Amino acid sequence: MKRPIVGVIGNTFLAEGRFPSQRVGERNLRAVADVTGALPLMFAGSPDITDIDALLDAVDGVLLTGARANVHPTRFGTDPHPSYEPYDLERDALALTLVEACVERSVPLLGICRGFQEMSVAFGSTLHPEIREIPGRQNHRMPRLENGEIHPDPTVVFGDRHDVALAPGGVFARLFGRETIRVNSLHGQGVLEPGSRVIVEGVADDGTVEAICIKDAPGFALGVQWHAEYDPQTNPINKALFEAFGAAIAARKAAA
């Protein structure tokens, strides 16, 4: 049997500051290849290039990755501000529609960080543009040095930083076999008010939403705020997540 295919969304950027391009972090591709057993296939995060129906006819699952760019505030009723940049309007336009299409067609969908936020917004959630500005919340951004530069050691940047309490008996608690996990944290935006179909399955110790599923989704539709793609080859929590995604992908392909 041929390997399943997972579509991995691309992000818009300027190569050498001049050439419009699409890119995907390699850890996302390796997480799919190493843990789910599927073939990762990058697709452009642009509605002018990627036809959603054709994409979903060609893949067995979709991974919405994290990204530097934030979901544009107008997508959830907030005014944009330069301090919340950068944005990727093309990815917004594609991903928010793609989320709904995946759920409707039972295409397994896993959202990570920005992908988690896209899933949330697609089903009516609002976001806070900078979660650390809310009183009582911690800084969920990646660790930096005193001079403001990003910490040079990836094991520090992607190190586990806080606990997440999982809903007892929920999808994630059953998946991980426990009700508390510890995860990394590299994000600015965060869910403010969940939409009616967004079920909160995990919450950080400061109240930040960290794990969701979509109510009445006929297939796999899970989102996590942390960067599960960093180490699913060795981290038991992230491995279990990608293995479950892989099982859903394999089941859908077998049923096709």
CATH number, domain with residue 199 = 3.40.50.880
Among 128, 140, 187, 227, the active-site one is: 227
E strands, 35-158, are 39-43, 61-64, 109-112, 126-128
Specify whether 213 is catalytic. no
Among 90, 113, 187, 210, the active-site one is: 113
* Total domains in the fold of the chain: 1
Residue 87 has pLDDT above 80, yes or no: yes
Lookup: tokens for 248: 């859903």
SS3 90: helix
Specify whether 102 is catalytic. no
Specify whether 146 is catalytic. no
> Residue 192 belongs to what domain range?
5-255
Q: Which helix (H) or strand (E) holds 38?
A: none
Q: Mean pLDDT lowest for which of 128-142, 171-185, 191-205, 216-230?
A: 128-142
Residues 75, 129: contact at Cβ < 8 Å? no
The 10s digit of each residue's pLDDT in 101-129 is: 999 999 999 999 999 999 999 999 999 87
The 10s digit of each residue's pLDDT in 156-191 is: 667 787 899 999 999 999 999 999 999 998 777 889
70: alpha, beta or left, given left = phi > 0 and alpha = psi -120 to 50?
A: beta
pTM: 0.93
| 79 CB neighbour count, 10 Å cutoff | 8
